[in-house]
Amino acid sequence: MRQPTIRACLGHAEVPVPRATDGALEVWDLFAGAGGFSTGAELAGGTVAYACDAWPEALETYRRNHPNARTQCLELPAPIPFPTDGRAFHLHGSPPCQRFSDNGRRYNTDESLAHATNLIEWFVETAMTCGATSWSMEQVSRAPTIAVIEAMRKRYPGRVAHATIDFCKLGVPQRRKRLIAGSPALVARLVRATTVGGRERSVSDVISKPKGYMVRTNLSARCKRLRHDRKPGETKYVYPKATMDDFLHPLTGPAPTVTTNGDTRWVWRAADGKHKWSRLSIREIAQLQTFPADYKWPADIRLSRQLIGNAVPPLVAQLLLGGGGPVTDC
């Protein structure tokens, strides 16, 4: 049987789209980045048929790790030639979140924020009309994003649900609070997964380090080192703003959020009483995002940090789609 094809779209030639094997969930991944969601989908037993992203370097990393998926370097919104033969498939998208994140707020303009919210609305509208059997979206949990999803929930009753989840409750060894939107059954499944005991993992569960702390040291150049009175001789690093007054994270708990600059470090007190710093390796940062140990990253360290920080943790996608534990279908 002739394989379905993706027709020319913004200058791309017509190419075959892989069909999922019998019984496997077919996944289409928009704004795919380096492939975090696709990796989790495959771990859950799915087959990724198609992925696109506008970032060539991200797509190159994606192709190295998912050679069987059809990929396109594509600036969205744009026409996507979804299947028209009635077959079941899952659609996922992670529209760029920088305009809503703490790190990206200084670059915000009214125009850029409008574009970001329009992308979210476009994706949800696409999910509602493309014929997908189920859908999901990951995004930072901010008032503008929640407002868009709420508006879409009212426009499509019974087809849109959302929840804000700290991924550390799912077993991701970092604090990463994100908005998950999608088919109500899938969102409910992920929410239920946060209540399953024993999922939480600490930094020391995935990274072998001596006693110490994890710290978001992209702030370190602007932070103050102060003595505090909880334990004599201990030190804490505080951001000048009162709302960021404590960002040391013990290795026995989850790490701080892995961001696009990837500058999460390990800090410890040496024998001379002074604090020393050590930047995490690319492999260690990827482990905090639950990527497989053999995932292939670029040689460019800065680029790899950006790709990892932008990614959906594969474990989240795996649990969402029904793999990786005792979470049952809705």
Question: DSSP states of 217-257 as a string?
Answer: GGGGGG-EEEE-SSSTT-EEEE-SSGGG---EEETTSPBPP
40 and 148 housed in the same domain: yes
* β partners of residue 211: none
Nearest to 187 by CA among 143, 149, 234: 149
Residue 10's pLDDT is: 28
| CA pair distance 290, 325, nearest whole angstrom | 15
Give domain status of residue 232, yes or no. Answer: yes
9 and 151 housed in the same domain: yes
Give domain status of residue 328, yes or no. Answer: no
Give domain status of residue 327, yes or no. Answer: no
Give yes or no for a contact between 255 and 313, defined as CB atoms under 8 angstroms apart.
no
Residues 91-119: b if buried by 16+ CB within 10 A, e if exposed: bbbbbbbebbbeebeeeeeeeeeeebbeb
104 and 149 housed in the same domain: yes
23 burial via Cβ count (<10 Å: 0-12, 13-18, 19+): exposed
15 and 106 housed in the same domain: yes
Lowest mean pLDDT, pick from 15-24, 64-73, 151-160, 237-246: 237-246
pLDDT, tens digit (0-9, with 9 covering 90-100), for 266-325: 666 556 666 667 778 899 899 999 999 999 999 999 999 999 999 999 999 999 998 644
Q: Which residues span the domain enclosing 308?
A: 5-200+294-320
91 phi and psi angles, rounded to 5 deg: -110, 125
Please report the DSSP string for 53-100 in residue order. Answer: ES-HHHHHHHHHH-TTSEEEE-PSS-------S----EEEE----TTT
Give yes or no for a contact between 99 and 108, defined as CB atoms under 8 angstroms apart.
yes
Give yes or no for a contact between 52 and 116, defined as CB atoms under 8 angstroms apart.
no
Give domain status of residue 24, yes or no. Answer: yes
> In this model, does residue 109 exceed pLDDT 90?
no
| CA pair distance 91, 27, nearest whole angstrom | 6
195 and 88 housed in the same domain: yes
CATH number at residue 76: 3.40.50.150
Give domain status of residue 17, yes or no. Answer: yes
Give domain status of residue 330, yes or no. Answer: no
pTM across the whole model: 0.81
| CA pair distance 282, 218, nearest whole angstrom | 16
Give domain status of residue 107, yes or no. Answer: yes
48 and 63 housed in the same domain: yes
Region 222-232 average pLDDT: 42
208 and 196 housed in the same domain: no
270 and 308 housed in the same domain: no
270 and 254 housed in the same domain: yes
Q: What are the angstrom distances between the C-alpha of 97 and each of 192, 196, 271?
A: 25, 29, 42
153 and 61 housed in the same domain: yes
Query: How many domains does the chain contain in total?
Result: 2
Region 168-191 average pLDDT: 96
pLDDT, tens digit (0-9, with 9 covering 90-100), for 190-202: 999 998 877 789 8
Give domain status of residue 127, yes or no. Answer: yes
56 and 195 housed in the same domain: yes
Mean of the per-residue pLDDT values for the chain?
Answer: 80
167 and 257 housed in the same domain: no
| CA pair distance 224, 55, nearest whole angstrom | 36
